[in-house]
Amino acid sequence: MRNIAIVIALCVGAWYYFIGGRKLDEPLVRQYYEQEAHAILSRDPERLCKQLSSRAVVQDRTTVLGQSQDSTLNRAQACDAARDSFKTFEVIGEAMGGILTIEYDYHLDSVELASDRKSAIVKGTSRLKMGEQAMQFASSFEQRIERELGQVRLVRSDQSTLVRLQGAGAMRQSDFFKK
């Protein structure tokens, strides 16, 4: 029994040394955003949810056709919003007569690592285009990400998103803001 306890303690220590205790650095921050882009392009809201801390707070100001709406979401609400968004993309794609193409790109303007290297403040922009620019989401953000049990996770996001709609009847403002 004692040997089992020693083996378990060694395994936990090895995991912490090689994975869990790693400090945050710029390559890990960039990898986080690459994984986020891959999840968006794969239309995988569950993978996006895994990148959120259980303490996540997402504050967003979304502007559509000159009207703005502010929202503050916790992790569960942000995950639900991601799922709903991908379902909406599917509906729009069907309404447009087929497969909806999605293009996503981002740019990190700055990465400021905390002195203890457990967190970083990241400022940047992103753009999501759907259906040959039938709909476009342009965002600017400031996000705090942290190492949490060996994973890099989003803890806080303050962002502003401008939604541009093109094409006849692609989506009405009331459709975008319906509850």
Identify the structural domains of the chain with CATH numbers, from first to last. 24-177 (3.10.450.50)
Of 12, 33, 58, 68, nearest in space to 159 by CA:
58
Tell me the per-residue pLDDT of 68-110, one tens digit each, with 9 for 90 and over: 999 999 999 999 999 999 998 888 777 777 777 889 999 999 9
The span from the CA of 154 to the CA of 131, in Å, is 28
pLDDT-based confidence at residue 172 (cuts at 50, 70, 90)? low
- Say which amino acid occupies 31: Q
Does position 177 have pLDDT exceeding 70, yes or no?
no
The count of C-alpha atoms lying within 13 angstroms of the C-alpha of 84, restricted to the half-sphere facing its C-beta, is 11
The pTM assigned to this predicted structure is 0.79
Tell me the per-residue pLDDT of 122-151, one tens digit each, with 9 for 90 and over: 999 999 998 776 789 999 999 999 998 889
Within 10 A of 57 (CB to CB), how many other CB atoms are there?
18
Residue with token string 């995988």: 44
Structure-derived torsion over alpha carbons of residues 173, 126, 40, 59, reported in degrees to the nearest 10: -60
* Terminal Cα-to-Cα distance of the chain (whole angstroms): 56
